Chains A and B, each alone.
Chain A
Amino acid sequence: MSAVFEQIFQVGFLAAIIRIATPLAFATLGEMFSERAGVLNLGIEGIMLLSAMTGFTAASLSGSLWLGVVAAVLTGMLMGALHALFTVVLGLSQHVCGIGVTLFSSGLAYFLYRLIFGQQSVPPNIKGFQTLPIPVLSDIPVLGPAVFNQFALVYMAILAIPIAAFVLYRTPWGLSVRMVGENPRAADSAGVSVIATRFQAVVLGGALMGLAGAFLSMAQFNAFTFGVVSGRGWVAIALVVFGRWDPWRSAGAALLFAFVDALQLRMQASGLGHIPYEAFLMLPFIFTIVAMAVMSRNAVAPSALLKPFRREER
């Protein structure tokens, strides 16, 4: 048993956790902004997939990874705007619109990918992001190589957490977002445009989901495949609940989930042959469902979540 543990907790383990957590952190922060403004975005799975595709395609055709990131972010914002148009401006059911956005974006991602790259026996790949060691900090034992010798997008995710917390809790716009998510009527009376604020929050959320997609196809897998997102978007939605709609807690939830995921990968690799590897793949999802049941007693969802706002209706 101790041999198993030794193999699990190597130096590379911490680095693996952080890499797994990065797209989840982006996606969870994105979903959090949207939900804080009162809009559940079930389009996240499809938005991440389409962004992964456009990012990969732009990078592959232009040869510039950063152009790919820009394309992915713009895609995320565009699809966020689409979801906002339906749910915020038109006030349609957030559940069903989100599923519609996911079906539409995933279909579009596969359609356009096949149109651009055709049907190839080996999926095309790109030379993705390389690790970028930060001088001095990367020399810190254990922590250095794990945290400070990562992809640029990982640093962006780490920075995104305090920035998100600052924006949400310390800026006038963040206050508006929280107001329209808690009490849109009061926000409206205070002169805050509910529609505009919600729209902006969902679009910002889409941009972060785009970054999550970009990380998957340009740093983690360096290719666009059918399984490139495989449920990570759904996990992010659960992590927002688990993180109680707070940037720090949400990022912590992403880290915890990544720990469980990295653990299952190691346990698969360490040859616990009698346990099917699917049991480990299931683990994070079961863990999340159980965690939600435990956490839900004191979960504090934004009170106006799922409720459309129409000024003329009382």
Chain B
Amino acid sequence: MFRLEARASTPAWFNLALPLLAIGATLVLCSGLIALAGAGVLEAYGVMFTASLGDSYAITETMVRAAPMIFTGLAVAVAFRAKFWNIGAEGQLLAGAVASCFVGAIPMPGPLAMVLMALAGAAAGAAVALVPATLRVKFKVDDVVSSLLLNSVIYYALMALIEGPWKDSFSGYPISPPIEDSANFPVLLEGTRLHLGVVVALLAAPLIWFLIVRTTLGFRIRVTGENPEAARYGGINVERVLISTALLSGALAGLAGVGEVGGVHFQVMSDISPGYGYSGIVVAMLARLNPLGVVPAAIFLAAVMTGAEAMSRATGVPAFLSDVIQGTALLAMLVALLFTAYRIRRVGAAR
């Protein structure tokens, strides 16, 4: 028999090795599906790799995809640290996209437009996240369910907007009018889509890390998440910390939407997010809720997404493999996390 035994301490190298182990296990597990689709496993993964990280253009495309997931990953990491179960990053992202598109369509000098777009998007995301947090603090409503249901509400609100007042009267397509050209985020490398928002996302990670690890608010967030009773005993207003966490988390998710509008699509459509909000959960868990770890985790998932389409064209393996990889990676990481707290010990037949 085997059984799990609590560890006294976790070896330091584990923290780095675990996500890599989880990703390795994921790729091995998913190779079964590639084989099932009748393609060569190494060939398929090879195409995915070269199409996402093989040359400088591929890398920029991967980074463009990673940016929103860095933001949603940070949003989830911050929230989960306080055990505010924000499953609503998807809706907060959409709200951020709508608000920034609204602001970006107003003619004004470019830099001002970008700053106002970011503020509007962050505020919209924060406002949406405030709903489940308030419901939890005031009415003890489970935040998982309310934040989850809110995603659908925001999605239909967005649809109502782009099929109603925002509908393109020329084409008849349900897309919003574009933002002003001056509000388009500057492209950093000519011939690519690498936009300013990607740099902001990369800078946000160390900033949030600093906030969590070095500031009072960060300390309160961590204590509230680890032990709310102790936090309360220590004089921390747990309700207020939960609300602050929600505002911060929602604002970060909202910024993911701002980047998609300002840097990639320049307008809002129904499929502006291919589930970046949910991917944020995978990113945050792969990063073990560490804001610095969010960056490589988001780049990994972005590479899988970018590479999957090329793989599908080259080998015929359905591109949905990238969704399976995401789900498997999340589950593999959870199992891997088990080994930070426990070790497997062989025990005799008699207990």
- By a beta-carbon cutoff of 8 Å, the part of chain A in contact with chain B is 40, 42, 46, 86, 90-93, 95-97, 99-108, 110-111, 114-115, 231, 234-235, 237-238, 241, 276, 278-279, 281-282, 285-286, 288-289, 292-293, 296-297, 299, 310, 313
Contact = CB atoms under 8 A, between A and B. Distances in A.
Given A92-B335, A278-B159, A296-B141, A114 B326 contact: no
B45 to A, nearest CB: 16
B324 A107 contact: yes
Interface stretch (B56-64, B143-151, B234-242, B250-258): B143-151
Contacts, number: 136
Nearest to B165: A276
A286 B338 CA distance: 37
Contacts of A110: 318, 320, 323
Contacts of A104: 324, 327-328, 330-331
A242 B324 CA distance: 32
Interface in B120-150: 131, 135, 139-142, 144-146, 148-150
Nearest to A313: B6
A107 B85 contact: no
Contacts of A97: 331, 334
B102 interface: no
Given A278-B157, A282-B157, A111 B141 contact: no
B142 A86 contact: no
A234 B334 contact: no
A99 B278 contact: yes
A241 B33 CA distance: 37
A278 B160 contact: yes
Contacts of B156: 278-279, 281-282, 285
Contact of B285 (A96, A105, A241): A96
B146 to A, nearest CB: 6
Contact of A114 (B144, B282, B318): B318
A280 B171 CA distance: 26
Given A103-B278, A104-B324, A285-B153, A90 B338 contact: yes
Contacts of B37: 115
A100 B330 contact: yes
Contacts of B36: 115
A53 to B, nearest CB: 11
The contact size tier of chain B is 35 or more
Contacts of B281: 96, 99
B149 A238 contact: yes
B10 interface: no
Given A92-B337, A110-B320, A281-B156, 12 more contacts: A86-B331, A100-B330, A101-B331, A104-B330, A105-B327, A110-B323, A234-B152, A279-B156, A279-B160, A285-B153, A289-B131, A297-B140
Nearest to A93: B334
B163 interface: yes
19 contacts: A42-B87, A86-B331, A90-B335, A90-B338, A92-B335, A92-B337, A93-B334, A99-B278, A103-B323, A108-B324, A111-B318, A279-B156, A285-B150, A285-B152, A285-B153, A292-B135, A292-B145, A293-B141, A296-B141
A90 B159 CA distance: 41
Interface in B299-318: 318
B318 A237 contact: no
Contacts of B282: 100, 103
Contacts of B85: 95
Contacts of B330: 96, 99-100, 103-104
A111 B335 contact: no
Nearest to B330: A100
B211 interface: no
Given A92-B337, A276-B164, A278-B157, A111 B327 contact: no
B69 to A, nearest CB: 14
A286 B156 CA distance: 11
Contact of B33 (A111, A238, A276): A111
Contact of B334 (A86, A296, A299): A86
B41 interface: no
B327 A101 contact: yes
A115 B317 CA distance: 8
Nearest to A97: B334
Contacts of A107: 320-327
